[in-house]
C-alpha cells in the first residue's frame, strides 16, 4: 500500500473508460473507489489516496499561460491538450481545495 500505487491508479483511470464508469458509480464513496482499485490490482489506503491527490495537484501547479489566464478571467473551460482524453475526479474523492483532471493520450 502506498501513495505511489495510488498515483499509478490515477494515471490508469485517465486512459481507461471502463474504470472511469465504475468510479462514477461510486461517487462520494472513497471505500468504493479503493475497492475498484483493489479489483484492478492496486492496493492503497484512504490516507495514501489523499496524499497522492495532493502531490499530483501540487506538481501540476505552476505558472499558467496567457491563454489559460484568459480562460480563467473570461470564464472559459479547461480543455485537454490535442490528442488527449481527460477525466475529472468528483470532488467527493478529493481533499478540500483540490481539483484534479487527468489527461491521457487519446
Residues 6+ apart with CB under 8 A from 1: 43, 44, 45, 48
Q: What is the pTM of this model?
A: 0.66
How far apart CA 70 and CA 53 sit, in angstroms, is 26
Mean pLDDT of 12-28: 88
Handedness of CA 96, 100, 52, 9 (dihedral sign): positive
Angle at 17 between CA 105 and CA 14, to 5 degrees: 45
Q: How far apart are CA 29 and CA 93, in angstroms?
A: 7
What is the per-residue pLDDT across 28-59, written as a single tens digit (0 to 9) for each?
888 999 999 999 999 999 999 988 888 877 76
Amino acid at each position: 500500500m502506498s501513495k505511489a500505487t495510488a498515483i499509478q491508479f490515477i494515471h490508469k483511470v485517465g486512459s481507461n473508460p471502463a474504470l472511469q464508469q465504475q468510479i462514477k458509480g461510486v461517487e462520494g464513496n472513497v471505500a468504493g473507489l479503493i475497492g475498484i482499485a483493489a479489483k484492478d490490482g492496486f492496493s492503497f489506503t484512504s490516507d495514501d489516496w489523499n496524499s497522492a491527490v495532493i502531490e499530483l495537484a501540487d506538481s501540476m501547479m505552476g505558472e499558467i499561460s496567457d491563454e489559460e489566464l484568459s480562460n480563467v478571467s473570461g470564464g472559459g473551460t479547461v480543455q485537454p491538450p490535442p490528442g488527449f482524453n481527460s477525466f475529472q475526479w468528483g470532488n467527493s474523492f478529493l481533499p478540500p481545495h483540490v481539483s484534479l483532471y487527468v489527461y491521457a493520450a487519446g
